[in-house]
Chains A and B, each alone.
Chain A
C-alpha cells in the first residue's frame, strides 16, 4: 500500500463525498465539452446558413472615370467600362480553384425603360434564382417568378398602380404581375423585377450582364482568396468582397463562440469552487485521521500528497466521465441546434478532461495545504 492506494481506499469509503466532489467537475466539464462541441459545429452551420443568406462578392465591369472638356471648359465626366460582362462569364467564375466553395453565381441585368407608360428601372435575374438570391423578399400574392411575369417593388407597384394579377406593358409585350414585394427599404422597392432573359430582350442586349452576385462559402477559406481567383479568370472585371457581410458573419460566429466560452468558464469556476469547499470540509472532518497520520510519522508533504491524490482520482474520473457525457450530449443535441451532420469533436473533450483534472487539483491545493499545515498538537487534541 502506498499513498495512491491509501487515497483510493479513502475515496471508496467516502463514496457520497467523492461523488459530490466530482459532481462539480463532472457538470462543469460535461457542460464545457457539450457547449464547445456544439458551438464549434454551429460555427460551421451558422456560417453555412449565413453564406446562404445572400452574396458576399460582387463582380462588375471595371470602369474608369473619363473627364470631357474643351480647353478650359469642363463638360463633366463619364464612366467608361473596360469590358462588358456576359452570361458566359458565369461559367468562368464557376471554374476557379475554390469552385467547390462557391454556392451560387447569380447574374443581374439592370436597365431603365418604360413600363405601362412610366419610366422605371428593370432588374433582371434568373427567375429560378429569385428565392436563393433574395431570400428576405416577401412576395405578396405570389410564390415565384416565371418567364413572362414580373414582380413589382412596393413603390413601383404604387407608381404603376398595379397589383398582383395585373399586367405591365413593355416593348409591346404584356407581362403578368406575379406578386408585389413588401417594402424592403432598398432600391428594388422602385423596380420591376423580371427574368433576366426577358429584361435582356427588352433592352435588346441578349447575354448582357450588369453584375454578378457570388455567394461563397467562406468557412474554411478566406473570401479574399476567392476574390483574387475570380479576378484572374475575369481580368477586366472589378471583384469586390462585401466587407460588411463578411465581417458581420465573423462577428456573429465570434459572439457565439464567446457565449459558449463564457458559460463554460462560469460552470467550470463553480465546479472548482465545489471541489474547494468539499475538500475543505473533508479536511475539517478528518482532523482526527490526519492527527493519527502525523503521529505515526507522516510528513506535511505526505499529507498534502494524500489529499492531492484523493482529489486527483476524483478529478480524473469525473473529468473523463464529464468529457464522455459532453460528447454524447453534444452528439444527441446537435440536430436541435441546426447541425445537420453531427460529429464527435475530440479537441474540446481532450481539453475539457485536462482542464477538469487541472481545476480539481488546483481546487485541492488550499485544503491540502491547510491539512498539511495542521499542527500535530491541534490534530492530536481531537484524538
Chain B
C-alpha cells in the first residue's frame, strides 16, 4: 500500500541564536493509508510539534513532508489552508468548540466560507452528529453538552470535509476514563471505515486500538512498533 504520509529527515528548531530549542531532530517515517498510529512520549518529546507539522500548521525548518502526494513545504499559505480543510481533520484535547454556536453550527464552521446552500450544510452536520451519537442534540450550545459530547461534536467537525487523515492531540485528556473509552471507540470505528488516524496520547488503552506506535524522545523516533497488521482483525471496539 502506498504511504499517505512521508517524513524525510524532518527537523524543527525554535528560536534564534542563543535560545535555540530543537523540537524535532531529523525524524523520518512513512505512514500508510488506513493506519492508526499512536504517538507517545514524554512531555517535550516533540509530539505536538510533529502533529502541527503533519497538519500543515507549521513548516519544518529542515526536511520534507509529503501528505497525500502534496509537498507541504512547497505550498503557499492558502494552499496549506486548503490542504488542512480537505485532507486533515483536527481533534483537540480541549475540543475548542466556538461557545456561541450550537453543535450543528460548530460542525459547519469549516464550511462557512464555502458557497454551499445552508440547508445542505445543516443536513450534512445533522448526519455527522448522528454518526457520532448526538442525534437530537444538534441545537445545543457547548455549555449544554458534557465533555464527551463536546468531543464528539469536535470529531464531527473534523469529519465535515471527509478528510483522509485525522490528527488528534490527546482527545481523551480532559475526559473521565469511561467517556474516554467511548471516544476511543469512535476513533476506532472511523479507522475501521478507512480513515488514517494519528493520535498523540498518554493513554495506554489507546495502544490497544492502534495498529502502530511511534515513541518519541528528545525530538527523535525512539521506537516505531507495529502493533497489529492492517490486514489482521480490527481491534475490539
Which residues in A have some Cβ–Cβ distance to B below 8 Å? 1-3, 5-6, 9-10, 12-13, 288-289, 292-302, 305, 375-377, 380, 383
Contact = CB atoms under 8 A, between A and B. Distances in A.
B57 A305 contact: no
B101 interface: yes
A294 B81 contact: yes
Contacts of B118: 1-2
Contact of B110 (A297, A305, A377): A297
A78 B79 CA distance: 95
A376 B108 contact: no
B113 to A, nearest CB: 4
A300 B121 CA distance: 22
Given A10-B100, A376-B58, 14 more contacts: A1-B108, A1-B109, A2-B118, A3-B113, A5-B112, A6-B109, A9-B101, A292-B98, A295-B90, A299-B78, A300-B81, A376-B52, A377-B52, A380-B58
Contact of A6 (B78, B86, B112, B158): B112
A297 B162 CA distance: 13
A297 B101 contact: no
A289 B57 CA distance: 15
Interface of B: 52, 55, 57-58, 77-78, 80-82, 84-86, 88, 90, 92, 94, 96, 98-101, 105, 108-113, 115, 118, 121, 157-158, 161
Most chain A CB within a 10 A radius of its CB, from B110, B113, B118: B113
A229 B178 CA distance: 99
20 contacts: A1-B121, A3-B112, A9-B100, A12-B100, A13-B99, A288-B96, A293-B109, A294-B57, A294-B81, A295-B55, A295-B57, A295-B92, A297-B84, A299-B77, A301-B78, A302-B112, A375-B58, A377-B57, A377-B58, A383-B94
B52 A299 contact: no
B127 to A, nearest CB: 16
Given A1-B105, A6-B112, A296 B58 contact: no
B159 to A, nearest CB: 11
Given A3-B112, A12-B100, A13-B99, A297 B78 contact: no
Contacts, number: 85
A297 B85 contact: yes
Contacts of A13: 99-100
A375 B59 CA distance: 11
A299 B57 contact: no
Contact of A298 (B96, B100, B113): B113
A301 B78 CA distance: 9
Contacts of B157: 296
Nearest to B55: A295
Contact of B96 (A5, A6, A292): A292
Nearest to B111: A1
Given A292-B96, A297-B81, A9 B52 contact: no
A282 to B, nearest CB: 14
Contacts of A300: 77-78, 81
Contacts of B98: 10, 289, 292
Nearest to B98: A289
A273 B121 CA distance: 38
Nearest to B93: A383
Contacts of A298: 81, 85, 110, 113
Contacts of B113: 2-3, 298-299, 302, 305
A153 to B, nearest CB: 81
Contacts of A299: 77-78, 81-82, 113
Nearest to A377: B58
A3 B77 CA distance: 20
B78 A380 contact: no
Nearest to B88: A297
Most chain B CB within a 10 A radius of its CB, from A1, A296, A297: A297
A292 B161 CA distance: 15
Given A9-B100, A10-B100, A294-B81, A376 B112 contact: no
A124 B110 CA distance: 89
B22 to A, nearest CB: 16
Nearest to B89: A296
Contacts of A305: 113
A305 B157 CA distance: 21
A1 B96 contact: no
A297 B96 contact: no
A158 B53 CA distance: 103
Given A297-B85, A300-B81, A383-B92, A1 B55 contact: no
B109 A296 contact: yes
Contact of B105 (A9, A375, A376): A9
B30 to A, nearest CB: 24
